[in-house]
């Protein structure tokens, strides 16, 4: 359980930073960007646990790295879709 909470926190932080870095002109969709970041982080965390780099029950630095990368990639893709 602590692993999932750390993934969500990581996605929230990544979503916050990416929303402020990328969408300076569009402040109305910050909550949506945070949600996309959290979703990407959970996906990245589950990918890490699939490859045995941690699990959802414990904290793992590798799973946190996968969650950060997942959140960043998801947010990048989301921003590219919105701009298209």
pLDDT, position 84: 57
**Domain carrying residue 54:** 2-83
CA angle 10, 12, 17 (to 5 degrees): 95
CB atoms inside a 10 Å sphere around CB 58: 12
What is the model's pTM?
A: 0.73
CA 7 to mean position of chain CA atoms = 7
Domain count, the chain: 1
Cα–Cα separations (whole angstroms), residue 60 to 30, 45, 53, 67: 28, 9, 7, 11
- Model pLDDT for residues 10-48, shown as the tens digit of each residue: 778 777 776 676 655 555 567 777 787 788 888 888 888
């Amino acid at each position: 359980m602590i692993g999932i909470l750390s993934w969500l926190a990581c996605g929230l932080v990544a979503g916050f930073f990416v929303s402020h870095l990328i969408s300076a002109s569009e402040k109305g969709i910050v909550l949506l960007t945070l949600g996309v970041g959290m979703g990407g982080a959970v996906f990245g965390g589950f990918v890490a646990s699939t490859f045995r780099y941690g699990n959802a029950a414990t904290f793992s630095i590798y799973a946190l790295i996968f969650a950060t990368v997942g959140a960043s990639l998801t947010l990048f893709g989301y921003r590219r879709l919105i701009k298209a």
